[in-house]
């Protein structure tokens, strides 16, 4: 099972463990469910083996995610079989994607909850009837939330759904069209998180740079960033998931503020015009390289992450070579590479799946090996520098050592900084650190007095 979302709770009532699968957006939904359960008197615990209720918040994006969730459900039901009275509730995108088939395969599950009713989790756990929501649940600043991230940082989801029509993606069918929270709601939650001691706020959604468009806001995301800078004193504000065509001059202007991490997560997906047309994406390699040049000219400290898909229908040897050349020229700081997964119900499903799985894996490994060499070279340049590092907590593999991140490293997806620091240092998590060594993806440093 994946690591459960854990948080302190009331000692009264039954205990519940929430096992989260998939992305950071799912994690926020799990935290909101944890908040609602705490409000209902449940104790949120970290160990499924000692919980009275097991809640699995699933991902249904691609087949490997669904297979992982299947295994998790089987494990949860095995725990239930050994402990009469334990209840198992399965929630999330996988349930929304295929509830009927899941219920038939796993009849021992006590309740199924898709993406519309996270706020009804207590009723679902207790077997009470409730009126289902009409659209995907989107929490707000009033929603209770049991944080499960380290005490120095937290995610904040600014919207739900997606209005893009990428041919390979099932998210719009699962979660519906893009829907933004209000600026006031996001700012109120940001202030509340700041009061809890959060030092880094990580803004997320399916397409964060589209924020406010559904509300008729011009330059909605830059406007939101300016509001957060004005209404909070948060030292680090980061955003993830920016659509390439939405990295505007207005956004670059506000990202020049030193409290906004100079970090760009831009999923280009591919570089070949042929493949991108089949993907229903719009920024081929030369145009993407021009955007990268523009970002780096405006923000020299910019750190750039992208994600790419290999083995998509239409990607022959020439298209893959073009993608490899693009990666070599782009000089990404962080790179994720995924093998194409054909998903029923998507537009791309009609294109078939002509690239063999073994060839997809070969291409994926080739790009990651290229990126590993580039990453090692880039990180070597940090040796001897003193950087701001946000400490997250102890390194479980090395007593007396802590794990932290620089402004150029996003949580959970990038490398880290290993810092010689004791538990006493965590009370002041934002520290100056001298980098003394580098590896392929990670840095090592010592605290500067």
Query: Can you identify the CATH homologous superfamily of domain 386-447?
Result: Nucleic acid-binding proteins (2.40.50.140)
pLDDT greater than 90 at residue 216: yes
Query: Tens digits of per-residue pLDDT, 224-235?
Result: 999 999 999 999
For residue 321, give the DSSP letter. Answer: H
| Largest CA-CA distance found in the chain, in angstroms, rounded | 63
Query: Tens digits of per-residue pLDDT, 292-310?
Result: 999 999 999 999 999 999 9
Query: Tens digits of per-residue pLDDT, 325-381?
Result: 999 999 999 999 999 999 988 999 999 999 999 999 999 999 999 999 999 999 999
Q: Report domain extents, the chain.
A: 4-126, 153-380, 386-447
Query: Please, what is the average pLDDT of the chain?
Result: 94
Q: What is the 3-state secondary structure (H, E, C) of 157-179?
A: ECEECCCCCCCCCCHHHHHCCCE
Copy the structure tokens of residue 248: 């505007």
CA atoms within 13 A on the CB side of 327: 30
Q: Band of the pLDDT at 4, cuts 50, 70, 90?
A: very low
State how far the Cα of 299 lies from the Cα of 296, in Å rounded to an integer: 5
Q: Residue 215: count other Cβ atoms within 10 Å of its Cβ.
A: 13
Which of 14-23, 359-368, 425-434 is most confident? 359-368
* CATH architecture for the domain at 153-380: Alpha-Beta Horseshoe (3.80)
Residue spans of alpha helices (H) in 83-219: 93-105, 121-126, 171-175, 183-195
CA angle, 364 as apex, 358 and 367 as ends, to 5°?
A: 145
State how far the Cα of 313 lies from the Cα of 338, in Å rounded to an integer: 14
Copy the structure tokens of residue 67: 């297979």
* CATH architecture for the domain at 4-126: 3-Layer(aba) Sandwich (3.40)
CA atoms within 13 A on the CB side of 373: 7
What would the mean pLDDT of 64-69 be, rounded to a whole number?
92
Instruction: Give phi and psi for 179, each to the nearest 5.
Output: -145, 115
Beta-ladder partners of 307: 336
Classify strands 430-438 and 386-394 as parallel, antiparallel or unpaired: antiparallel
Supply the pLDDT for residue 381. Answer: 96
Supply the pLDDT for residue 254. Answer: 97
Helices 63-82, 93-105: crossing angle, 10 deg rounding: 50
Supply the pLDDT for residue 122. Answer: 95
């Amino acid at each position: 099972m994946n690591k459960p979302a854990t948080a302190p709770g009331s000692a009264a009532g039954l205990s519940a463990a929430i096992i989260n699968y998939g992305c950071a957006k799912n994690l926020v939904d799990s935290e909101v469910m944890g908040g609602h359960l705490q409000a209902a008197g449940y104790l949120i615990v970290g160990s499924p083996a000692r919980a009275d209720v097991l809640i699995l918040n699933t991902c249904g994006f691609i087949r490997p995610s669904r297979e992982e969730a299947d295994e998790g459900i089987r494990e949860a039901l095995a725990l239930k079989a050994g402990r009469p009275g334990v209840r198992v509730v399965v929630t999330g995108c996988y349930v929304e994607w295929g509830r009927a088939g899941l219920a038939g395969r796993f009849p021992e599950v006590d309740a199924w909850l898709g993406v519309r009713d996270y706020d009804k989790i207590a009723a679902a756990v207790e077997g009470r009837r409730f009126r289902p929501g009409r659209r995907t649940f989107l929490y707000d600043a009033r929603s209770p939330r049991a944080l499960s991230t380290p005490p120095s940082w937290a995610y904040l989801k600014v919207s739900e759904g997606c209005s893009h029509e990428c041919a390979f993606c099932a998210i719009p069918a699962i979660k519906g069209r893009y829907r933004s929270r209000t600026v006031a709601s996001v700012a109120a939650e940001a202030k509340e998180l700041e009061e809890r001691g959060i030092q880094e706020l990580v803004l997320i959604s399916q397409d964060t740079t589209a924020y406010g468009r559904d509300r008729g806001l011009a330059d909605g995301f830059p406007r939101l960033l300016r509001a957060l800078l004005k209404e909070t004193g948060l030292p680090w504000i980061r955003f993830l998931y920016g659509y390439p065509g939405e990295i505007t001059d207005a956004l670059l202007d506000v990202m020049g503020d030193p409290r906004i991490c100079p970090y760009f997560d831009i999923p280009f997906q591919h570089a070949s015009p042929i493949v991108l047309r089949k993907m229903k994406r719009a920024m081929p390699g030369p145009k993407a390289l021009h955007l990268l040049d523009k970002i780096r000219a405006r923000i020299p400290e910019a750190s750039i992450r992208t994600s790419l898909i290999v083995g998509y229908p239409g990607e022959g040897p020439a298209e893959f070579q073009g993608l490899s050349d693009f990666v070599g020229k782009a000089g990404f700081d962080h790179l994720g590479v995924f093998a194409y997964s054909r998903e029923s119900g998507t537009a791309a499903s009609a294109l078939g799946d002509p690239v063999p799985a073994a060839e997809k894996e070969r291409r994926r490994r080739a790009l990651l090996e290229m990126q590993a060499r580039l990453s090692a070279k880039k990180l070597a340049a940090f040796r001897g520098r003193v950087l701001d590092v946000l400490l997250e907590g102890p390194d479980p593999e090395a007593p007396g050592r802590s794990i932290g991140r620089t402004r150029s490293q996003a949580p959970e997806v990038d490398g880290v900084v290993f810092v010689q620091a004791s538990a006493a240092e965590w009370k002041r998590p934002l520290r100056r650190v001298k980098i003394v060594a580098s590896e392929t993806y990670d840095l090592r440093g010592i605290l500067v007095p």
